[in-house]
């Protein structure tokens, strides 16, 4: 057999293998089975519920923290207020491990940012970014944000959570866009996307976290903002904010023996289970654990 024919056969074999891999990948992406529904006590006073449905396909995650029973300490990613871009990007699970937390979610909208493909995106781990809204970590304010676009959840030094606490009394704070105000959903629209939201009940005795997987056909399509607000109100929220979503959405917990588990299915650069490095996060450290 001539060298040219051998080369041609090798090229054809490679193209065939790539085609098969592409078809298998496409099939897996569009036919991924949903996980089982779960209701579990992650830690004392912290309940996790995973719900699954079809029509449209949805996988939602709800964490409810009893603020009076669990004695949580809330922690926001620290930043350097002296810098124009005060934060170094990291994934949510990296944030959880670095600061030895029990639970963590992604935080505020941020910039600079782009996502053009599996390798062409910003930020990568460690690259500088800034958040859209007000942010405080351990008493240090590193972003004053835009009050016209953002709403801020504040935490006192003794971890009382409130949307109305004076910012001067806040030891930590994280911001997002208004989702529910005094029990009423804001005028919301938008497409189905992965979502992250956080809110409080009317008495500010319970903190709720909502994570919705999306952009994963037949597994979970995501929610509109109106649907997310409806879910928040149905869960008991009186006030809630929408945090960064899309490929940023992530929920990580520390399991037995310090093992980190990502409970949802992130979708950074359209790759299921891939986490995105983001600007800031909200973490929970609990004084007592099962």
- Judgement on whether residues 131 and 10 belong to the same structural domain of the protein: no
Could you list the residue range(s) of the whole structural domain that residue 20 is in?
A: 1-31
- Judgement on whether residues 250 and 271 belong to the same structural domain of the protein: yes
- Judgement on whether residues 45 and 25 belong to the same structural domain of the protein: no
Alpha-carbon distance values, 192 to 51, 74, 106 (Å): 17, 30, 19
Per residue in 224-266, pLDDT (tens digit) is 999 999 999 999 999 999 999 999 999 999 987 789 999 999 9
HSE at residue 264, side-chain half, CA atoms within 13 A, is: 41
- Judgement on whether residues 241 and 113 belong to the same structural domain of the protein: yes
Query: Counting beta carbons within 10 angstroms of the beta carbon of residue 47, is it exposed (0 to 12), middle (13 to 18) or buried (19 or more)?
Result: middle
- Judgement on whether residues 61 and 198 belong to the same structural domain of the protein: yes
- Judgement on whether residues 4 and 148 belong to the same structural domain of the protein: no
Q: What's the pLDDT at 286? A: 87
- Judgement on whether residues 65 and 154 belong to the same structural domain of the protein: yes
Stretches where the chain sits below pLDDT 50 are 17, 20-27, 289-290
- Judgement on whether residues 73 and 13 belong to the same structural domain of the protein: no
Partnered with residue 46 across adjacent β-strands are 43, 65
DSSP-assigned letter for residue 26: H
């Amino acid at each position: 057999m001539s060298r040219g024919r051998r080369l041609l056969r090798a090229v054809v074999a490679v193209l065939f293998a790539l085609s098969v891999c592409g078809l298998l990948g496409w099939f897996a992406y569009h036919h991924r089975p949903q996980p089982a529904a779960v209701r579990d006590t992650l830690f004392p006073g912290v309940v996790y519920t995973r719900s699954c449905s079809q029509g449209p396909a949805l996988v939602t995650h709800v964490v409810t923290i009893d603020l009076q029973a669990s004695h949580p300490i809330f922690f926001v990613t620290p930043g350097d207020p002296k810098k124009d871009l005060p934060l170094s990007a990291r994934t949510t699970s990296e944030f959880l491990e670095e600061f030895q937390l029990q639970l963590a979610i992604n935080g505020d909208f941020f910039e600079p940012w782009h996502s053009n493909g599996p390798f062409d995106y910003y930020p990568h781990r460690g690259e500088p970014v800034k958040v859209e809204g007000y942010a405080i970590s351990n008493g240090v304010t590193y972003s004053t944000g835009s009050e016209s676009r953002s709403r801020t959840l504040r935490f006192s030094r003794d971890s009382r959570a409130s949307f109305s606490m004076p910012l001067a009394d806040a030891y930590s704070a994280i911001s997002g866009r208004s989702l529910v105000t005094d029990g009423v959903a804001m005028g919301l629209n938008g497409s189905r996307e992965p979502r992250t939201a956080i809110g409080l009940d009317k008495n500010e005795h319970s903190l709720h976290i909502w994570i919705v997987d999306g952009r994963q056909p037949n597994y979970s399509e995501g929610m509109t903002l109106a649907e997310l607000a409806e879910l928040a109100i149905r869960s008991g929220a009186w006030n809630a904010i929408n945090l960064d979503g899309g490929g940023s959405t992530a929920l990580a917990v520390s399991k037995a023996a310090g093992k980190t588990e990502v409970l949802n299915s992130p979708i950074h650069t359209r790759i299921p289970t891939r986490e995105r490095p983001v600007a800031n996060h909200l973490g929970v450290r609990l004084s007592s654990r099962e």
